[in-house]
């Protein structure tokens, strides 16, 4: 019984160790020439293609609902002119990172995991090793960097889309003065808050790419194993990114005080 429990405990610990080992190899391989630029461009387009539309479709209702609730409160207390500050704070520090987490974990990371997982079960990864090529350098590095770049672009897109539709909703449906909305945008949000949001995006993309690549390269059990790895990627990426978001928000709040 004790041996069985040790075996059950050893498997997740071994997986964690393998993940950190691959992560360290990835960081080292980023600085080894030649850089796989073509693969990086292809993967950036691949991840952006599956992520941009869900990001826009999620950003609009999130920001509109947030603006609606905040504006109701501000109108009640006679501070409707500060509605832009609430919209900017929500879009930059909260809605942007949350939507980035959801889209990167649900669309971008799963797409990368499925791609690498299908290559693994077709033994393409083993073929690279036989040819003396490092799969981490050739496949993992461009995907991790692509996920990082796309995460930053998605966060920027959410902020722009969110502020635009928040402006339209506040001005045309809730009667907020356009000039007052624009003038109050920078009351609560400045360069430090924008840096925090983009730092979160960098961390989200980097760790989502690492998790997706690790699960894709460690697939076993044929096509069914690929499906299992994709499902696990969603869960693990979602949990890790929300944990990172919580820590980054707390640290950023202390740093900006």
Q: What is the CATH number of the domain that holds 238?
A: 1.10.357
Provide the Cα torsion 192, 195, 200, 201; round to 10°: 150
Q: Look at residue 148 in the predicted model and tell me its pLDDT.
A: 92
Does 253 have pLDDT greater than 80? no
Which domain, by its residues, includes 148? 46-255
For residue 234, being part of any structural domain is answered with: yes
For residue 101, being part of any structural domain is answered with: yes
For residue 236, being part of any structural domain is answered with: yes
For residue 35, being part of any structural domain is answered with: no
For the chain, give the percent of residues with pLDDT over 90.
Answer: 14
Q: Look at residue 5 in the predicted model and tell me its pLDDT.
A: 52
C-beta of residue 95 within 8 angstroms of C-beta of residue 63: yes
For residue 185, being part of any structural domain is answered with: yes
Q: Please write the tens of the pLDDT for every residue from 130-185.
A: 888 888 999 999 999 999 999 999 888 888 888 888 888 888 877 778 888 888 88
For residue 231, being part of any structural domain is answered with: yes
For residue 91, being part of any structural domain is answered with: yes
- Provide the pLDDT confidence category of residue 89 given band limits of 50, 70 and 90: confident
C-beta of residue 212 within 8 angstroms of C-beta of residue 245: no
Domain count, the chain: 1
For residue 153, being part of any structural domain is answered with: yes
Q: Look at residue 144 in the predicted model and tell me its pLDDT.
A: 93
- Provide the pLDDT confidence category of residue 6 given band limits of 50, 70 and 90: low
Q: Look at residue 7 in the predicted model and tell me its pLDDT.
A: 56
Does 124 have pLDDT greater than 70? yes
List the helix and strand counts (H, then E) for the chain.
Answer: 11, 0
Does 61 have pLDDT greater than 90? no
DSSP state of 80: G
Most confident of 3-7, 64-68, 215-219: 215-219
Mean pLDDT computed over every residue of the chain: 83
Q: pTM for the complete prediction? A: 0.88
- Provide the pLDDT confidence category of residue 210 given band limits of 50, 70 and 90: very high
**Distance (Å, rounded) from C-alpha 97 to C-alpha 234?**
16
Q: Look at residue 214 in the predicted model and tell me its pLDDT.
A: 92
Give me 149's structure tokens: 């770049």
Does 235 have pLDDT greater than 80? yes
**Distance (Å, rounded) from C-alpha 100 to C-alpha 221?**
31
Q: Look at residue 211 in the predicted model and tell me its pLDDT.
A: 92
């Amino acid at each position: 019984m004790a041996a069985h429990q040790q075996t059950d405990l050893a498997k997740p610990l071994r997986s964690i160790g393998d993940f950190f080992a691959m992560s360290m190899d990835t960081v080292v391989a980023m600085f080894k020439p030649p850089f796989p630029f073509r693969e990086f461009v292809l993967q950036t387009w691949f991840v952006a293609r599956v992520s941009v539309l869900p990001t826009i479709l999620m950003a609009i209702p999130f920001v509109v609902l947030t603006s609606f609730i905040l504006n109701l409160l501000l109108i009640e207390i006679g501070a409707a002119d500060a509605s832009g500050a609430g919209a900017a704070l929500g879009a930059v520090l909260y809605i942007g990172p949350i939507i980035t987490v959801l889209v990167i974990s649900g669309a971008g990371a799963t797409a990368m995991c499925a791609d690498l997982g299908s290559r693994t079960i077709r033994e393409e990864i083993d073929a690279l090793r036989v040819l003396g090529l490092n799969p981490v350098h050739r496949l993992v590095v461009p995907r991790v960097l692509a996920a990082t770049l796309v995460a930053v672009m998605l966060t920027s897109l959410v902020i722009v889309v969110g502020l635009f539709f928040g402006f339209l909703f506040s001005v045309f449906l809730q009667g907020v003065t356009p000039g007052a909305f624009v003038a109050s945008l920078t009351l609560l949000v400045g360069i430090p808050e924008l840096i925090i949001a983009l730092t979160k995006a960098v961390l989200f993309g980097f760790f989502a790419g690492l998790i997706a690549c690790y699960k894709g390269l460690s697939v076993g059990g044929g096509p069914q194993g690929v499906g299992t790895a994709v499902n696990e990627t969603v869960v693990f990426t979602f949990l890790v990114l929300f944990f990172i978001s919580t820590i980054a928000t707390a640290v950023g709040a202390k740093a900006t005080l």
